[in-house]
Chain A
Amino acid sequence: MNSPSIDPARSAHAYRAALTASILNALGTPLDFWIGRRAHVPLAPLLCCAAVGAAGVVVLLLRRGRSSVLLSSAVFVANALAVSATLALVSPLFAASGEPWTPFQANKLGMLIVAALGPELTPGLICIAAYGLTAIAQQSLLAGRPSAMNEPLIMIIFMSVAVVLLVFRVRGAATERALARARADAETAAEINRRLLALRDLANTPLQNIEVAAHLLESEYPAAKHLTDAMVRAVVRMRDLQPILRG
């Protein structure tokens, strides 16, 4: 298995995933301030969360083309942890406000985003767990809400679906990368084979020349037979290399 630093496709995918998640965080989290204006949601935690996203964008842009899978995954996880922590802070405010509120929608959306974007399996599982478990840990906020009758079962179902989607997507991506590598290997092998064939075509005519020239020399100078025999033997040895070159 290739290491992260030498698998460009894997690194590029992790980079795109982390950048997208960071941008979504940086631009999307402040929207919660507008959504939660009647619940008197404070701006500070939302801005802190968005700042984590913005910092991720900056780090990734500075490392553009050089970001490892590890760095991109770390940025991705940092975003998810910041968002899930912020949601854990603001959810009680929404619950206490008495305003219409469907519980933990953002957590569910977060899990699906992770399933769709997650750069690797382990970071993805960490993020899904962060979104899901923080919501389950706050089940007490849902007491008496008709919209939360089936919680935490719904949340567990969301977590399970997100995990299954993530696993299938990550495995699919790995298979695609393996296929791309296999195709590249096959193309390289075919190119080497073409070059070897061309090399043999070029090398065999001079051998034929030596073979015929040795025969002519022997006819003209019978005394030099020991020399021409050596030339012919050299040609035979070169001819014997053919099966080795064929591989």
Chain B
Amino acid sequence: LVETIAILDDDADLRSLLAELFESALGLHSVTLQSVAELIERAPTVLGTRLAILDINLGPGVPTGFDAYDWLLAHAYAGRIVFLTGHAKDDPMLERARALGKVSVLLKPVPTEKLLALASQEAKP
């Protein structure tokens, strides 16, 4: 079993739904992560993925998707990084996300077809 997608989101339902979606529709396995701490804990698996889908706001007072992004870059992550966030288009957090290099920003709710196209393009061997 090779995980090719890393999903970081504090919402357990969304993590499992996305993982199930990618597996059922594309046959791609995902590693699901609740927090940046868990992402670091599972570093070998995460760094082996081709696509990282990161939520920005992971709960009050805990490291954010930006911290995960910094960690991935610091560890020479070779895959594509995408922020999947519920923040509004004009939210200052998104301005910050857009200013980062080598990253895309998707706003929830994203049409499922778009998510599948992204995973298919970036994560399929």
Q: Which residues of B contact A138 (CB under 8 A)?
A: none
Cβ of A188 < 8 Å from any Cβ of B? no
Check A204–B108 contact: CB distance below 8 A: yes
Complex Cα–Cα for A74 and B25 (A): 80
- By beta carbon, the residue of chain B nearest A201 is B86
Check A211–B86 contact: CB distance below 8 A: no
Binds B, one of A42-50, A100-108, A146-154, A212-220: A212-220
State the A residues within 8 Å of B (CB).
196-197, 200-205, 207-216, 219, 235, 238-239, 242, 245-246
User: Given known contacts A216-B17, A216-B24, is B88 in contact with A235 (CB within 8 Å)?
Assistant: no
Those of B63-109 within 8 Å (CB) of chain A? 84-91, 107-109
Check A219–B85 contact: CB distance below 8 A: no
Size category of the binding interface on chain B? 20 to 34
User: Given known contacts A202-B86, A239-B109, is B14 in contact with A208 (CB within 8 Å)?
Assistant: yes
- By beta carbon, the residue of chain B nearest A238 is B109
Cβ of B40 < 8 Å from any Cβ of A? no
Q: Which residues of A contact B108 (CB under 8 A)?
A: 204-205, 207-208
Q: Can you report 5 A-B residue pairs in the complex whose CB atoms are below 8 A from each other?
A: A203-B86, A205-B14, A205-B86, A214-B112, A245-B88
Check B88–A212 contact: CB distance below 8 A: no
One digit per residue, 1 when the CB lies within 8 angstroms of any chain A CB and 0 when it does not, for chain B 1-27 equals: 000000001010110011011001100
User: Taking the nearest CB of chain B, how far is it from the CB of A204, in angstroms?
Assistant: 3
Check B11–A200 contact: CB distance below 8 A: no
Complex Cα–Cα for A214 and B21 (A): 10
With A196-B88, A201-B86, A215-B112 already in contact, 14 other A-B pairs whose C-beta atoms are closer than 8 Å = A197-B87, A204-B87, A204-B107, A205-B11, A208-B86, A209-B11, A211-B109, A212-B115, A215-B21, A216-B17, A216-B20, A216-B24, A219-B24, A235-B109
Most chain A C-beta atoms within 10 Å of own C-beta, residue among B18, B90, B108: B108
User: Taking the nearest CB of chain B, how far is it from the CB of A28, in angstroms?
Assistant: 57
Check A201–B115 contact: CB distance below 8 A: no
Return the 9 tightest CB-CB contacts between A and B, nearest first.
A204-B86, A204-B108, A207-B109, A215-B112, A201-B86, A208-B108, A208-B109, A212-B17, A211-B109
Q: Which residues of B contact A242 (CB under 8 A)?
A: 88-89
Most chain B C-beta atoms within 10 Å of own C-beta, residue among A211, A216, A219: A211
Cβ of B34 < 8 Å from any Cβ of A? no
Complex Cα–Cα for A121 and B115 (A): 67
Q: Which residues of A contact B85 (CB under 8 A)?
A: 201, 204
- By beta carbon, the residue of chain A nearest B21 is A212
Q: Select one of A200, A215, A216, A219 contacting B88, CB under 8 A.
A: A200
Q: Which residues of A contact B118 (CB under 8 A)?
A: none
Cβ of B57 < 8 Å from any Cβ of A? yes
Most chain B C-beta atoms within 10 Å of own C-beta, residue among A202, A204, A235, A238: A204
- By beta carbon, the residue of chain A nearest B14 is A209
- By beta carbon, the residue of chain A nearest B18 is A212
